[in-house]
Amino acid sequence: MSYRSQQLLQKYFARQCSRDELEELLNYLQKHPQAEEHEEIIQQLWQELHDTKPLSSQQSENIYEQLSTRLPQRRSLATWKIAASITGAMLGFLVVYYLWMNSMVTQTAGFAETRTIVLPDQSTIVLNANSSVKYERQWQIDSPRQIWLEGEAYFSVQHLANHQSFTVYTNNLAVEVLGTEFNVQNRRGTTQVTLDEGKVKLNSLDAALNDVTDVILRPGEQATLTEDDNFTLVAVETDPVTSWRNYKLLFNDAPMAEVAQTIEDLYGLPVIIESDSITQLKLTGTLPNNDMRMLLALLQEIFGIQATEEDGQIRLRE
Per-residue model confidence as pLDDT tens digits over 259-312? 999 999 999 999 999 999 999 999 999 999 889 999 999 999 999 999 999 989
Per residue in 50-77, is it b (16+ CB within 10 Å) or e — as a string?
eeeeebeeeebbebbeeeeeebeeeebe
Q: Domain residue spans in the chain? A: 3-102, 107-238, 247-317
Name the pLDDT band for 18 (thresholds 50, 70, 90). confident
pLDDT for position 186: 95
Asked if residue 89 has pLDDT above 60, the reply is no
Asked if residue 196 has pLDDT above 60, the reply is yes
Span 138-153, average pLDDT: 88
pLDDT for position 32: 60
Tell me the residue ranges of DSSP E strands in 101-235: 104-109, 115-118, 124-127, 131-136, 145-156, 166-169, 173-177, 181-187, 190-197, 200-204, 215-217, 221-225, 231-235
pLDDT for position 164: 87
If you average pLDDT over every residue of the chain, what do you get?
Answer: 79
Which residues, listed in sequence order, are joined to residue 203 by a DSSP beta bridge? 174
Asked if residue 142 has pLDDT above 70, the reply is yes
- For the question of whether the overall pTM of this predicted structure is more than 0.85, the answer is no
247-317, which class in CATH? Answer: alpha beta
Tally of CA atoms within 13 A in the half-sphere of 29 that contains its CB: 29
Asked if residue 21 has pLDDT above 70, the reply is yes
- The reply to whether 107-238 and 247-317 are identical in fold is no
CATH number (3.40.630.70, 2.70.98.10, 2.60.40.10, 2.60.120.1440) of 107-238 reads 2.60.120.1440
